[in-house]
Amino acid sequence: MRSARSSQTPRAPRASRTRIIVSRVLIVVGVLLLVAAGGIFIWSQLGYREAEDAYADLAQYAAVDDTDGSGIPSVNFDELAAINPDVVGWIYIPGTSVNYPVVQGEDNSTYLYRLFDGRSNASGTVFLDCDDEAPGLRDEQTSIYGHHMLSGGMFEPIDRTQDQAAFDAIDEVYYITREAVYRFRPLATAVVPADYVVARTPNFEDAAVFEEYLRDILSRASAQASDAEERVESTEQVLSLITCSDNIVPSPRRSVMVCTLEETLPRVDAGESISTVSGN
């Protein structure tokens, strides 16, 4: 006759039970992480779509009227200012997706995660450095920032110009204000540390210090114009387009595409001709 003790099912060792519990907890945690990652991905995609739709709507205020063959957008700043009085200009790079309004906030964090119409969004708005004199091109260096979006929007094409072929594909950059249309040519794209504050310095002590800065950019350049060395000597004003150079947050590096001012044109309404005012 079996005793009561011998008829009971043997219990698993304590170590085995612990491993089973830990395995189940890890599985649950893994599932939760996958769900969270999926939610973050969907949320980011919705944010990208919201930003793309918002800026596609704003493109109607910067229509390209090519009747004069210029291909330069005619910007309705009155309509843009009615939406956001912080608007100071419009940045346009032919052959790329860069075709955006430019704002200036009280500081450089105002528009990091805010769309042009004020809605909260990770894409933010392209903005002029808060230390620059609005609307830009009043200083030796005009610095404009935009996010590097994985969707390919905002200033992602700027980061791409680290590649020489992508750099060479951009012939001209336009910055448009209420006062004028400024035409630039890319000089060089360099990758610099996030604390490389000289890239946002509006004015330098003298022409020699300004030239020293431009030569430092060339020494760091991953791509540059074939005549970059010659142009540095005669350049008086530059436009620096700045974005993150890595797909991580926060990014420790910045891509800076420095462009030299080649020509200043009067801003006119659509249908009028554009004639040269000055050039260098």
* Predicted pLDDT at 278: 42
* Predicted pLDDT at 136: 97
Both tokens of 280, joined, read 């260098």
Please list the residues that pair with 192 across neighbouring strands.
254
Round to whole Å and give the CA distance between 277 and 211. Answer: 25
On the question of a cis peptide bond just before residue 250, with omega within 30 degrees of 0, the verdict is: yes
pLDDT digits over 163-190, tens only? 999 999 999 999 999 999 999 999 999 9
Round to whole Å and give the CA distance between 262 and 41. Answer: 42
Please list the residues that pair with 256 across neighbouring strands.
190, 242
User: What is the full per-residue pLDDT of the chain (280 aa) written as tens digits?
Assistant: 444 454 555 555 666 777 767 666 666 655 555 544 444 434 344 455 777 788 888 888 887 665 455 688 899 999 999 999 999 999 999 999 999 999 999 999 999 999 999 999 988 999 999 999 999 999 999 999 999 877 778 899 999 999 999 999 999 999 999 999 999 999 999 999 999 999 999 999 999 999 999 999 999 999 999 999 999 999 999 999 999 987 666 678 999 999 999 999 987 654 343 443 444 4
* Predicted pLDDT at 180: 95
Both tokens of 103, joined, read 């704002």
